[in-house]
Structure 1
Amino acid sequence: MYLAELLFLLSLAVWVGSIVFFTFVVSPAVMSSISKEQAAKVINAIYAPYYRLGYLCGAAASLALLIRRLSGGRMWPTAWFMILVLMVLMAVFLDVVIGDRARMAEEALQEDPKQKENFYRLHRISLGMNLLMLGAGFLLMWLTASRLDF
């Protein structure tokens, strides 16, 4: 049973850690140390593996919940799985919808400075959803840790 909890917590820890590191360390460091054009290229290059890591962690955490359920262990509330699904859906939305639109808005910004507001709106949505994913991940880690018997 504890392997399922371990897999679940490790998956969440890696995912939450990547969100914290990218949002609060990598992005600010890149944006403050090189030109905006170069920073945009670096950040855009990081997005794909960043979201793939989220997908992988979401799949591993889902697998842990499935293992727990099939092994006849104590059930975890359905709400936990729903929070996890919401996190994965947010990651997919950010990657596929917002990410593509932000890249297009950024390219259009080079030709038309009036696109600035559109780009910043998409950036705010991205940042807000990343923070929601972070909060949901912390919540799931706390809920899981509070149920473990050490």
Structure 2
Amino acid sequence: MNILNIIYHLAVSLWVGGAALFTFVLTPILFRSESRDTAARIVGLFFPGYFRWGVVCGVVALATVFFRGEKFGLNIGILAMMLAFVSFQAFYIEPNAAILKQQIGSFEKTTKDHPLRQQFSRLHAFSATCNLAVIAGGVTLVVLF
């Protein structure tokens, strides 16, 4: 296996492994063990780095595919989709969600039907969907390619 293959597999594995660990292990533990506001604050501190980590891993993986001289195929399409989703999370959803969280102040004291909470919930749902798509794409890449 040449160095580009190793870098590719490492980038995809670190990306999907990190996303799975953050999504299915760390975040649920935080929300079970801390108050809603404390858990949200802690997770909010990690989100910018988490999404940018995904962008870096995606760019590295995509670059290695191109440097290997591969033609456009399913793996490049999946990588591009994953990179598009995580970039949207990093540069649109996360900054807007952070602003909304600041405006909301306390999720424990603000009712769920409050317009800012509803707007945050829509962003959160879209982000969660993007995150699951990235994980599913990554698992597909690891298994098939």
Alignment TM-score, normalising by the size of structure 2: 0.85
Partner of 2:141: 140
The answer to whether the aligner puts 1:89 opposite 2:84 as a matched pair is yes
Partner of 1:52: 52
**Aligned partner of 1:116: which letter?**
R
Give the 4+ runs in structure 1 shifted more than 4 A. Answer: none
Partner of 1:109: 104
Partner of 1:43: 43
Judge conservation of contact 2:52–2:90 (CA < 8 Å) in 1. Answer: no
In 2, distance between residues paired with 1:52 and 1:117? 26
Q: If each structure's helix is expressed as a fraction of its own residues, which one has the higher value?
A: 1
Deviation of the 1:55 alpha carbon: 1.7
**Aligned partner of 2:93: which letter?**
I
> Matched residue pairs, number?
139
Structure 2: gaps of 5 or more residues: none
RMSD: 1.9
Partner of 1:123: 124
Identity of paired residues, percent? 27
Partner of 1:23: 23
The answer to which of 37-46 and 18-27 deviates more is: 37-46
Larger Rg: 1
Alignment TM-score, normalising by the size of structure 1: 0.82
The answer to which of 117-126 and 18-27 deviates more is: 117-126
